[in-house]
Structure 1
Amino acid sequence: MATSYKELLHEITTFIFDVDGVLTDGRMLISESGELLRTMNAKDGYAIKTALNQGFKVCIITGGRNQGVKTRLNGLGVKDVFLDAHDKMEILHEYVTKHDLKPSQLLYMGDDMPDVEAIEFVGLGTCPQDAIAEVKAVSDYISHKNGGDCCVRDVIEQVLKVQGKWHVAGGKNTQSS
């Protein structure tokens, strides 16, 4: 019998995200000077900060090179931001070794072909609703949210709720059933 993705949420200690198409909607605004501009959702940022505050690790592995992305994520408290990642699996293996992690502890969210191998490697492979078909086919969970539209918040909130670590205003703990 196949394991439900919800059963895997209990094991997660580490979130690993791609950027373009996950933390952003994948679209880029190109300025006259050639600078590529992206938008990120503040609700995803809140969820990332909450996860970090609850002791989870958050790692970003992206093929993009935009230093503004790194600045934003560092500002949220994410220390492990890997830009210009042409071989995501090499970085993922180094990260797992450095932090003595097991694949079952990892949740990875990606949306395109460079993410497929990482999604297959981790304990819980996830993707946004608007990921490509090949990514959806190997994902344990497909968010009902699109990239850049709180798909990151969706998976973080589910994990933290299942583990009793999601807090609402006033400090009340909310448990999912």
Structure 2
Amino acid sequence: MEEKSYKEYLEHITTFIFDVDGVLTDGSVIVTTDGEMLRKMSIKDGYALKLAVNKGYNIGVISGGTNEGVRLRLEGLGVKDIYLGAHNKMDQLNDYFNKKGIKSENVLFMGDDVPDLPAMKSIGLPCCPQDAVPEIKAISKYVSHKKGGDGAARDVIEQVLKVQGNWNDLYDAKND
């Protein structure tokens, strides 16, 4: 039986799950003298996240990190389902699915490193940024041409929304 192209999954996606470090950021941190760890996120990813929220898609973020600045940024984009400090991402993923009544075949999960592996193996469309580790690239049905923190999330959101006819009102994501 021939493997389906990732594009055949796009029309059925209702839910996006993203890791933070290495996906919504470039995976690096700037450590200040008082120990605060600063991350950089893409405005283009933010636009796409806000548009997807406004169009009614489920957006979840599951990250091992615990930076409250990340939570504030995502909440500002309308993302409500944010799991920080997630050391076993399957627990949070299962909780999220049960809470929202989500089926795994309708989920796109974008991760970049080994901690994302079990969760990514359990969903319909595992994806990763161009600079993900080899183990994640090996199980991904789509590897973005964009790096983490540099438009990879926008890439997958835009593809899904375009296929489903929802990438049309450029003013839906104001104030990203």
- Please report the TM-score for the alignment, with normalisation by the length of structure 1: 0.94
The alignment status of 1:147 with 2:152, answered yes or no, reads no
Q: Deviations over 1:73-123 (max 9, x none)?
A: 000000011100011001101110111111111000000000011111110
Q: Report the AA paired with residue 58 of structure 1.
A: I
1:120 aligns with 2:125: no
- C-alpha distance after superposition, 1:27-65 (max 9, x if no partner): 100000000000000000000000011110100000000
Residue in structure 1 matched with residue 44 of structure 2 by the alignment? 43
Q: Paired residues, what number?
A: 171
Query: How much does 1:170 deviate?
Result: 7.4
> Which runs of no fewer than 5 residues in structure 1 stay unpaired?
172-177
Q: 1:86 to 1:169 in 2, by over 3 A?
A: closer
SS in 2 for 1:11: coil
Where 2:65 maps in the other structure, the secondary structure is: coil
Describe the SS at the equivalent of 1:156: helix
* Distance of 1:49 and 1:57 partners within structure 2: 11
Superposition deviation, residue 169 in structure 1: 4.0
Looking at structure 1, the residues matched to 17 and 59 of structure 2 have their Cα atoms a distance apart, in angstroms, of 6
Which residue is equivalent to 1:91?
Answer: 92
User: 1:84, 1:114 → 2: CA distance?
Assistant: 12
Counterparts of 2:113 and 2:57 in 1: how far apart (Å)? 25
User: Hey, what does 1:174 align to over in structure 2?
Assistant: none
Aligned pair 1:16/2:14, yes or no?
no
Instruction: Tell me, in whole angstroms, the C-alpha distance in 1 between the residues paired with 2:166 and 2:90.
Output: 29
Q: Deviations over 1:110-138 (max 9, x none)?
A: 00000011111110000000000000000
Distance 1:161 1:31 in 2: 40
Aligned identity (percent) is 56
Q: Is 1:101 aligned to residue 102 of structure 2? A: yes
Q: How big is the shift at 1:167?
A: 1.6
Kindly report the root-mean-square deviation, in angstroms, between the aligned alpha carbons of the 2 structures: 1.1
TM-score (norm. length: structure 2): 0.95
1:59 and 2:88 aligned:
no
Return 5+ residue gaps in structure 2 as ranges: none
3-state DSSP class of the match of 2:101? coil
